[in-house]
Amino acid sequence: MKIYLLSIVLLSALCFQAQSQTREIQALKDWRFYNGDAELASQSGFDDSSWEKVTVPHDWAIKGPFDKDIDKQVVRIEQNNETVATEKTGRTGALPFIGVGWYRTNVSVAEVNSGKQIILAFDGAMSNAEVFVNGKKVGNRPYGYSYFYFDITDELQAGKENVIAVRLENQAFSSRWYPGAGIYRKVNLIIKDAVSFKHWGHYITTPYIGNGLAKINIKSQVQGDNVVIKTTLRDANGKVVAENMVSQRFGDEIEQNISLDNPEIWGTDSPYLYTATLELHQGGVLKDTEEIRFGVRDIKYSRENGFELNGEVVKFKGVCLHHDLGPLGIAINRAALKRQLTILKDLGVNAIRSSHNMPSIEQLELCDEMGFMFLAESFDEWKKPKVKNGYNLYFDEWAEKDIVDLVHATRNHPSIVMWSAGNEVPDQHGSAGVKRAKWIQDIFHREDPTRPVTVGMDQVQNAMANGFGAILDVPGLNYRLPLYEEAYELFPQGFILGSETASTVSSRGVYKFPVEKGPNKTYDDYQSSSYDLEYCSWSNIPEDDFVWQDDKPWVIGEFVWTGFDYLGEPTPYDDYWPSRSSYFGILDLAGIPKDRYYLYRSRWNTEDETLHMLPHWNWEGREGEKTPVFVYTNYSSAELFVNGKSQGIQKKDSTSNLHRYRLMWMDVVYEPGEIRVVAFDDSGNEVAEKSIKTAGKPHRILLEADRETISADGEDLSFVTATIVDKDGIPVPHAMNRLDFEVTGNGSFKAVCNGDATSLEMFHLPTMKVFNGKLVVIVQASEKAGDIKLKVKGKGLKASELKLSSQN
């Protein structure tokens, strides 16, 4: 009864006493930038008027130019099983990320040192960040992927222009891919009462779900005495579904357990999100408010069933993603991230691995909303180096802090179902590495007991021999298919994860003859064949992984290397020039699907029909020669026709991994005209067909936008695919025409990309050659609503226009 009466008194106080203004968040977007070291640039009186005006998030290196001598390395890549060191000219993207960059901005605050606390929070800055306020250094953070913040209350002056300066420095030999440069994720100034929730202070879990009820556990870190938390839970429509009030405190933590009736469950097919509004009161005055979105979901890993989501066995159909956004570089953009995830959703992907770095908040928010599970990775290196100036330099001092901040910043996202402590770390050798793995995993467990930890292991034999793999919650194998059975027998967990798989290489729209399966194939044009039979010495074709995923219940899924091409690591051409981006992607650097997209889609997207043919049918000079035709489909059989003549029926079977998942007509003789495929259901009924025709000469440009209406916020993007077609509208697969772009109205040209790993054309200039008939041009909205017009023209082609609109 006393507790009940106390609650009434507290509630009355909250309702009838005056309330103060709660926290204010200022997004610091407008900065001055200088590429180079600048003496006294941290000082308030420094003249930065000649510096470039930029908007954060920002990548200073993405505009290029490409240069083979940038970060040129003579190195033997152990992860690629190389035995001899060779010159690598495009390993980190050949873009000018090395060096020093300075950022400066001014902020004004009405009050300081009057019961306020002011936090300066960074989601990521690449790299070796040093932060100054009014000339005084307030802190540093070396790891470019870390979240970090500083309390700058005592350094600010009320009613004056306060200068925030950030010095970044990227060293040579510090990365294995294009790391980018600059303040590439958002920066916020958070002004709140000193009596408030601590930064990243909430931890929401759902430890019980069943019988029409969910237990919502909320732990909140608070600062200030005699405080009360009032919590309101709302459903996706904003309706209040539960309320709670609590003041009992242990140290600086207040814990709540709230009952939620008939909860909607978060899952990949129905990613339902609730919102918790948490109010902190002191003496009846509202001191702080935060809103946290969360999902009600249950995850479980077991020897018996592998991975379960909400009580159902689920396999990871995942892809690995580097952090760059192709022609946009590493500067985070929500529209670009959503486009990636929308394409991957159609592919049938249900999980993302952030490789090999900490994810952005925007990416996690979108995965929460769109229904993707997430494997959040932390490091590519521990104590032992892969590159001279990598994370190994900072591991001893910073590893624990970096992990803690990662977990605290992201742990309320229901999409995260696993942490990755590292990728192919050389520490897999020896007892010191085993102890390191245990130490790191224990930190993750301490900060978040609800999720397991994995490591992407490539030295599997060592990990089996020394116990490294045995101590992990989830043993992750990168490739090493011949060791799957042995690892399963030796590891105690009872399951393994394909933490990195395939690494098949291909170039969109490129086909090589004769059609042969094999590793490390290279050609004079520095392209890889899109027959999807080429891979690296340490990897394999997709079907080799499909068999393990389909036939072994103890293999709990895979994360394919990679979903999209990325800047840097141009294997198998990393010692060739020009070659500056990867060939691993299921989609190219512009986000255009390669043929391999449809092979994965035929297996992963179980809701929609897939029927895809390759290659194209423009082969002047190959008349009379064998030109194999492959079909990727979710149907089990099909018949192929060349100019109306049947080439026979092919059926999927288990005679080989290839025949199990592809339909292949190896003896087709090329003749111009039309190839057509007719697919059959299991009863032999014709259910779908598709055709490809020989195209004529390039005639005009077909423009197709991913979204024709975008937001007038100065940040939203429309991605427009330009395709060269003949007079009959048939795509011209060999077209390499140069196109020019003009954007007028309430928008601007942002960037362009053709997906060619060997192209040295700069992304930010409004001109580029198409690659095998296609490219993607990116249009950015202004902050004013209205029409936007994109005009595209090319020599000898009929110009095209596309009307877009931006809305408030």
The DSSP bridge pattern shows strands 663-665 and 629-633 to be: antiparallel
The question of whether 400 is a catalytic residue gets the answer no
Tokens of 454: 């994995």
Distance CA 170, CA 181 (A): 7
Distance CA 105, CA 88 (A): 38
Greatest alpha-carbon pair distance for the chain in Å reads 93
All structural domains of the chain? 24-61+97-193 (2.60.120.260), 195-294 (2.60.40.10), 301-503+538-568 (3.20.20.80), 700-807 (2.60.40.10)
| Dihedrals phi, psi of 793, to nearest 5 degrees | -140, 160
DSSP class of 426: G
DSSP class of 626: B
| DSSP state letters, 29-93 | -EEEEEES--TTTTSTT---TTSEEEESS--TTTT----TTTT-EEE--GGGT--S-EEESSTTT
Cis peptide before 179, with omega less than 30 degrees from 0? no
Q: Are 287 and 224 in contact (CB under 8 A)?
A: yes
Cis peptide before 572, with omega less than 30 degrees from 0? yes
Q: How many CA within 13 A on the CB side of residue 163?
A: 20
| DSSP state letters, 546-589 | HHHHHH-TTEEEEEEE-SB--BS--TT-TTSSS--B-S--SB-T
Distance CA 26, CA 156 (A): 15
Q: Are 487 and 475 in contact (CB under 8 A)?
A: yes
Look-up of token digits 């909400």: 310
Instruction: Extract the residue ranges of the chain whose pLDDT is less than 70.
Output: 1-21, 79
SS3 of residue 155 by DSSP: helix
> Cβ contacts of residue 71 below 8 Å, gap of 6+?
91, 92, 94, 97, 98, 172, 173
> Cβ contacts of residue 157 below 8 Å, gap of 6+?
112, 134
> Cβ contacts of residue 581 below 8 Å, gap of 6+?
90, 93, 178, 565, 566, 567, 568, 569, 570, 589, 757
Element (H, E) at 286: strand 285-294
Q: Which of 130, 377, 447, 500 is catalytic?
A: 500
Q: Which of 130, 169, 377, 424 is catalytic?
A: 424
End-to-end CA distance of the chain: 52
The question of whether 243 is a catalytic residue gets the answer no
Distance CA 176, CA 679 (A): 44
Distance CA 196, CA 575 (A): 55
